[in-house]
Amino acid sequence: MQVEPSQGLLADLIRGSELRAITTLILSNYVVEMELGVLPEEQGVTQRIRFDVELHLSGASAPSEDEIDQVLDYDFIKARIDAAVGGSRFNLLESLVSDLLDSYVCPPEVLGASVTATKLDIYDGDAEIGCQMVRLRE
C-alpha cells in the first residue's frame, strides 16, 4: 500500500489563505522493527512497520545561508519515529500515528503534516495494512 503524497492537504493549506508557496519535507519508506499490536500474536514480538511522512512548511525559497541550521533538519522526522519506537508500547497504529503528528506540527514553520504507518507482515503476499492521518496547524 504505497500512499501517494497528500495533495489534498496542500490544497487545504492554500485554499482560503494568502499562502502561495509551500515546501514539503519527505521521509519515505523508513522501515523499523517494533513491538506493536493489540492481537495476542502481536504481543512480545516485533514486526516491520513502514513510515511515510510529509511536513508542509510555508514558503518555497532558498535559505538565507546554505547551512543545515537554516532549515528544519530531515533528521527531526526520523528522530521522532525512533523515539516512538524506543518509547512506550502502542497497541494501535492510530495511536502511534497521532502521537507522531503531535510532535511534527510543533515547529512553528510546519503548517501541516501527513503520517502513514504500514504493517508490512500481517497478511500473506503483498497485502499491507496501515493508517494515514493528516493534520493542519490550528
Map out the domains of the chain as residue ranges.
7-136
Q: What pLDDT score does 105 carry?
A: 95
Q: What pLDDT score does 17 carry?
A: 63
Q: Cβ distance 60 to 24 under 8 Å? A: no
Q: What pLDDT score does 119 carry?
A: 94
Q: Cβ distance 116 to 51 under 8 Å? A: yes
Q: What pLDDT score does 4 carry?
A: 53
Question: CATH for 7-136, among 3.30.1130.10, 3.40.190.80, 1.10.1040.10, 3.30.465.10?
Answer: 3.30.1130.10
Q: What pLDDT score does 1 carry?
A: 43
Residue 13 neighbours by CB distance under 10 Å: 19
Q: What pLDDT score does 2 carry?
A: 47
Q: Tell me the pLDDT of the chain (138 aa) as tens digits.
A: 444 545 666 666 556 566 678 889 999 999 999 999 898 888 889 999 999 999 999 877 777 888 887 778 889 999 999 999 998 899 999 999 999 999 999 999 999 999 999 999 888 888 899 999 999 887
All three cell numbers of 91: 497497541
Residue type, 135: R
